[in-house]
Amino acid sequence: MNVTATLIGQLIVFSILIWFIKAVLWEPVINTLEDRKKRIADGLAASEKGMKDQELAAENAKQAIKEAKQEAAEIIAQAKARDTQMIEEAKNKAVEEADRVIAGAQAEIDQEVNRAKDSLRTQVSSLAVAGASKILGKEVDANAHKAALKELIEQI
């Protein structure tokens, strides 16, 4: 055999093999590698976006907690102020009620004192009339001497 023909045959077979590898094997492998490269890049981008979203969510959560604590502190302060106000109102009402009760009791005491004085005056006048009748030896008519008895009661 001729070396040239063998060399040309091998060259043709080699060319067909290169064409076959490029057409059938090389393109799909390159496409697969490109797809995988793209998926990896997308995954990394999504991961970075997820990390940024997570950091943003954590920051938002911290802000929300801070606002909630401030709001809770304001509510507590308002409740304490209202509590103090309610206590003061209750004290004022109690003082007013005590003053009212004291005034009522004082009025009742004054009425009782006046009744007792009137009763004593009446008793003293009766005793005075009885004493005068015994001293004079005759009965004194209370109706006839009403003016004198009234004057006597007022003096007592």
The total number of structural domains in the chain stands at: 1
Domain span holding position 46: 3-155
For residue 47, give both structure tokens.
């991961």
pLDDT in tens, the chain (156 residues): 688 889 999 999 999 999 988 888 888 889 999 999 999 999 999 999 999 999 999 999 999 999 999 999 999 999 999 999 999 999 999 999 999 999 999 999 999 998 988 888 788 777 777 777 666 655 556 665 666 666 666 666
